[in-house]
Structures are given as structure tokens and as C-alpha cells.
Amino acid sequence: MANEGIHREWASRIRGHEESGHLVESVVEILDCAALCFTEMGFQGTSIDDVARRLGATKGRIYHYFRSKTDLFFEVHREGMTRLMDAVTAAMDAGGTGREKLQRMVEAHALTMMQNVAYEAVVVQGVHLHRLSATTPEQRVILNELMDVRHQFEQLFVQVFHEGQADGSVRETADTSLAVKGILGAVNWMAIWYRPRADESPETQKAMAVEVAGLQIKGVT
Amino acid sequence: MANEGIHREWASRIRGHEESGHLVESVVEILDCAALCFTEMGFQGTSIDDVARRLGATKGRIYHYFRSKTDLFFEVHREGMTRLMDAVTAAMDAGGTGREKLQRMVEAHALTMMQNVAYEAVVVQGVHLHRLSATTPEQRVILNELMDVRHQFEQLFVQVFHEGQADGSVRETADTSLAVKGILGAVNWMAIWYRPRADESPETQKAMAVEVAGLQIKGVT
DNA sequence: GTCTATATCGTGATAGAC
DNA sequence: GTCTATCACGATATAGAC
């Protein structure tokens, strides 16, 4: 995995509450509830009490693990980005022509959006908050990291796009960045409208991801 | 304009502050400032004082025209949707094959996003707030209207998509709704990343709109 | 590690002068 | 029609018991 090093370093470091590289269960529970709340009600629309209530606890529990509401939001965002990065880098590293890689990457992106709607909806929300509520200098650092990773994420697609143009599997375009932003927009938008159905099978999800990716890739080949 | 009647009725009715079908200047000023604030800081992140400060006034002025912060947000949203609807219906009513109409509609959509970033970023934000902060019954009515209009907007594209499939200018797809959501997502996403440059000419904007639309339409033809 | 207070403050909304 | 108070309330964050 060529790009693992790029993002692994910034994952999982909430006040040191981790063991063997994984977040402890208590933290995951909190993040899950927070993701749902933020997704349904927005950052500022969610109170810590809301998250606590959903957790079946009180704020004491949350403030034991997270310094502030902003830190909590950032951590959910970070986790969402990590899952996207993992999925897309894996798809990217499996070889093939530029076009084949691109198709797989977009599929992976779409599938991850569907399988982690709550987290990814927070990531999409986070795009809005440019520097909002980054009060402490420490938070600014984290915010900058998150923005960097989003940029790196986009660059993965740009890079493979160019590979594809080099090997002739992807069409020449007026503006590569614009083309990539279009593709990523189409997929990111899924966080807005996609909600899993009760009876939805993994096969159906996969089929949707392939369909969405196919339409986008067709546009650039 | 076949669809004018669909949305004209819900435009411009802020406490009756309108003359000859247009909003009075005072209201437009407030909406402009509010749009900028909401775009930069989000709905809950924006205080009425923020809007007032930007306006060079105090809240008294705002509360004279709008009952509540929520009403203000809704009105910005409504204005943004109106501009989108106007542009897209005009593009749609100019005739041609399904594919040609679709291309023009997406171009118009994209161009409107660029020319009204603040308003349209609020529209995009508004998609998140499903029923958030719709406290009074009157607000619920307005929110429902806004959601209806968003749905109608999407249906315009679905409809022309089918026209195109009927006349053979648009490819058959597994799921029309999915294909349209992809296109709209790609264009809506512009509200996130696009910010006009100081020296950007209308021609450059138009060229970008055509490029974005072209890539999307190529995917479905 | 989780709870129950509680301090503290920002913000939405109103009342009333001008 | 716009301003200057001012109220009322909810939410973040903390302190300290258990």
C-alpha cells in the first residue's frame, strides 16, 4: 500500500485512548453516537447532552475522553477520512490501467460512503467549516491536518487520472482538477441523499457503487 | 416557460415586504449579508448579531423584516432555489433533443452556482437540515415547500432524461434517478469548492460551466 | 470511569425610546 | 424604520462525589 504512510500517522490519537493501534471500545461507542447526532442535526445543532442521551449516559463520560465538542467532531471527521483513504488506496494499489484503477477507486469511494453514511456525512459537513470553531492552536493543527488529508485524497485521483492519460485509457481534458472535482462531488453527494434501506443487501450496495462509478468514468474516457 | 407556474407562487413573500413582484432593497441587503454569513459559518454558527454587523446595523433592523433567524435562513434558501429554478427552466424550454436540453440545463445549473455562490451554498447546507429547527407549524410549511421544490427541480432533470432516452439521444441506464443524482451532485458540489477569483471573467465562468456539464453528459450518452 | 451539580457565558428574541 | 437596552434560556465546560 503505497500511500499507507501518508495518513496512518494521524489516525487514532484521542488523548492516548488506544490499544494496539485500535481505538478502545468506549471511544468507538462515543464516536458512533456523535457521528449519528452530527449527521442528523449538524455540528452546532448537536449538544453534548444529545450525544450523551443517545449513548445512554451523561456528559461526564464524553468529557472524560474528549476535551471539547470540537475535538469530538474532528475525531469523527478523522475517522471518516481514514476509512475513505484506506478503501481508496487499497483499490488504487491493485494495479491495472489508469482507467481500471480509477473505476475501482471511485467504486471504493462510493461503497465506503454507503457503508459509513454517518461518518462520511460528517466529513462532508466538515468541508463547510473552513476555520469555524477552531479556537485553540491545537485545534488549528488538527484542522489543518484534516484539510491536508482531504487534499491528498483528491490528489490520489488526480495522479491516477494522469496515469490514465499517459497510458491512453483516460481522455485528455481541459482541466484535470475540474474533472476530478466533478467525480468526487457526484460521489460525496451520496452522503446527502443515500440512506441504507432496512433490507438492503451488500450486493445491492456494491451494484449501486459500480453504477455510480461507471457513469462518472464514462464521462472521462 | 412551461414550469414557471410551478415555483413562482412560493417566491418572495417575506412579511409582505415586496413591491411589484420584487423584494424591497432593504430586504435584499439583509438577504445578501445573511447568505454570506451562513455560507461562511453555517446556520447555527451564525448569530443575528453577525449578520447585523456585516450589514453595518443592529438586530433591530433584521427583526423588523424577519420573525426569526430560521425564517431568515429559509428566505435565503428560497431565493437560491428560485434562481436555480429560473435558470434551469429557461434552459429547458429552449427546445432541442433530450441530450441538448440536458446539456444546457446542467450548464445553467453550474453557471448559477458560480454566479450565486453564497445563496447556493446555503441551499446546499439546507439539504442537511431535514427538519432541524423547524419549530413553529408555519416554518414546517415553508420547509416542506422548500423540500418540494428541490424535488421538483430534480424531477425536471429526470423528465428530460427520459425524453432523451425516448428520442435516442440519451443512453438507457439501470437507474435514472441514480444517474441524475450523480449529475446534480457533481454540480451542487461546486458550492463547496468554487469561489470566484478576483479577475475571473464571465467567459471563464461560462467555459467552466460548459466543461463540467460536458463531462457529466458524456457519462450518460 | 461515570455521575450530579453548577458556574459562566453567548445568543435569540422583545420592549420601548427616538 | 432603526436603535439601545434587557430578559430568558440553553449549552459548554468544570468540580467534585461516588
- Nearest nucleotide over every DNA/RNA strand to the A67 CA, judged by C1': D13
Specify the higher pLDDT residue, B132 or B198: B198
Whose CA is nearest the C1' atom of nucleotide C5? Answer: A60
In-domain check, residue B116: yes
In-domain check, residue B157: yes
Give residue A193's identity as a one-letter amino acid code: W
pLDDT score at B2: 36
* DSSP per position, A145-204: HHHHHHHHHHHHHHHHHHHHHHTTSS---S-HHHHHHHHHHHHHTHHHH----TT--HHH
In-domain check, residue B152: yes
In tens, the pLDDT along A150-172 reads: 999 999 999 999 999 999 999 99
In-domain check, residue B196: yes
In-domain check, residue B102: yes
8 Å CB contact of B189 and A192: no
Q: How far is the C-alpha of B112 from the C-alpha of B119, rounded, in Å?
A: 10
HSE-up (13 A, CA, CB side) for residue A71: 16
Residue with the three cell numbers 455560507: B39
CATH number, domain at A162?
1.10.357.10
Residue A122: CB partners within 8 Å, gap ≥ 6?
A35, A38, A39, A73, A76, A77, A80
Q: How far is the C-alpha of B126 from the C-alpha of B114, rounded, in Å?
A: 18
In-domain check, residue B62: no
Whose CA is nearest the C1' atom of nucleotide D15? Answer: A60
Q: How far is CA B157 from CA A43, B92, B179, B218, in A?
A: 32, 9, 10, 15
Q: Count Cβ–Cβ pairs < 8 Å, chain A vs chain B.
A: 114
Residue A131 pLDDT more than 90? no
Q: How far is the C-alpha of A111 from the C-alpha of A206, rounded, in Å?
A: 6
Structural domain including A123 reads: 69-219
Contacts of B130 in chain A (CB under 8 A): 40
8 Å CB contact of B127 and A192: yes
Of B42, B132, B182, the CB nearest to A212: B182
- Nearest nucleotide over every DNA/RNA strand to the B65 CA, judged by C1': D1
Arithmetic mean of pLDDT, A177-194? 98
Q: What's the Å distance between residue A64 CA and nucleotide D15 C1'? A: 13
Q: How many domains does chain A contain in total?
A: 1
In-domain check, residue B171: yes
CA-nearest residue to A122 within chain B is B128
Of B44, B185, B217, the CB nearest to A186: B185
In-domain check, residue A139: yes
In tens, the pLDDT along B16-74 reads: 677 666 778 899 999 999 999 999 999 999 999 999 999 999 999 999 999 999 999 99
The residues pairing with B22 across neighbouring beta strands, listed in sequence order, are B19
8 Å CB contact of B182 and A216: yes
